[in-house]
Amino acid sequence: MGKFEIKKDKSEQYRFNLKAGNGQVILSSEAYKAKSSCENGIESVRTNSQDNSKYERLTAKDNSPYFNLKATNGQIIGTSEMYSSTDAMENGIASVKNNAPDASVKDNS
């Protein structure tokens, strides 16, 4: 089962990672000034993760595929790692869809 982990970064802002059951990070958030905003971001991932149209599939400069998960307002709520292939990226999206709705939240901040 997946889990969200909340942490504080070096600039004292809050971020979350969604980790798969094996501990691998499958989605990372932007920075939030307030912990409550970070928690709202987690809820937005839960809500939007099931809608395939909310996934923006992209290619980095080195041709590595990756994706952003966007909220209804178009704001990016999470970004994936870089993948070795499009198939691997699609598996990452499937993992977010599987893990996000029921993932627990661990606060490490």
pTM (predicted TM-score)? 0.93
CA geometry: angle at 37 spanning 75 and 44, to 5°? 50
How many structural domains are present in the chain? 1
Provide the CA 109 distance to its chain's centre, in angstroms: 17
Q: Residues with Cβ < 8 Å from 5, sequence gap 6 or more? A: 16, 17, 19, 105, 106, 108
Find the CATH number of the domain harbouring 73: 2.30.29.80
User: What residue numbers bound the domain in which 94 lies?
Assistant: 3-107
DSSP 93: H
- Lookup: tokens for 71: 């909220």
pLDDT by residue, tens only, the chain of 109 residues: 899 999 999 999 999 999 999 999 999 999 999 999 999 999 999 999 999 999 999 999 999 999 999 999 999 999 999 999 999 999 999 999 999 999 999 999 9
Which is it for strands 3-8 and 104-107: parallel, antiparallel or unpaired? parallel
Q: DSSP 3-state assignment of 42?
A: helix
- Lookup: tokens for 88: 């691997």
